[in-house]
Amino acid sequence: MLVLDCPFCGPRNESEFAYGGPALAPRPADPSAVSDADWVDWLTVPPNPMGEVEERWWHLRGCGAWLTVRRHTVTHAVTEVRLGR
Ligand SMILES: [Zn+2]
């Protein structure tokens, strides 16, 4: 079970949070210059690397804050939790 250290509430179980997707999914500056396949990939395929990722989590059953969490996808080790993006 993942434990996230909310800056307001302290360490809390994953079940109090809702996953909000990857934190850094930069939108193409000019979508019309991107191929249809790349655009569909950007819209529908979340990044899933082996290693550290940044994700958005909402403390749904706590303070209601949106957090950015840096987590290793293999070990699930959380190395950073911060407010905002
Ligand atoms: Zn909280």
Which is it for strands 66-72 and 52-58: parallel, antiparallel or unpaired?
antiparallel
Find the 2 Cα to ligand 1 centroid distance in Å.
15
- For the chain, how are helix, strand and coil distributed in percent, rounded to 5? 20, 40, 45
Alpha-carbon distance of 75 to 59, in angstroms, equals: 22
Chain centre distance of CA 19:
7
Domain that holds residue 62: 3-26+45-83
Has residue 64 been placed in a domain?
Answer: yes
What pLDDT was estimated at residue 48? Answer: 83
Has residue 34 been placed in a domain?
Answer: no
Find the 46 Cα to ligand 1 centroid distance in Å.
25
Has residue 32 been placed in a domain?
Answer: no
Has residue 40 been placed in a domain?
Answer: no
Find the 83 Cα to ligand 1 centroid distance in Å.
10
What's the structural domain count of the chain?
1
Residues 37-71: tens digit of each pLDDT: 989 988 888 778 899 999 999 999 999 999 999 99
Give the domain CATH number at 65: 3.30.2270.10
Has residue 35 been placed in a domain?
Answer: no
Q: Higher confidence at residue 57 or residue 23?
A: 57
Find the 23 Cα to ligand 1 centroid distance in Å.
18
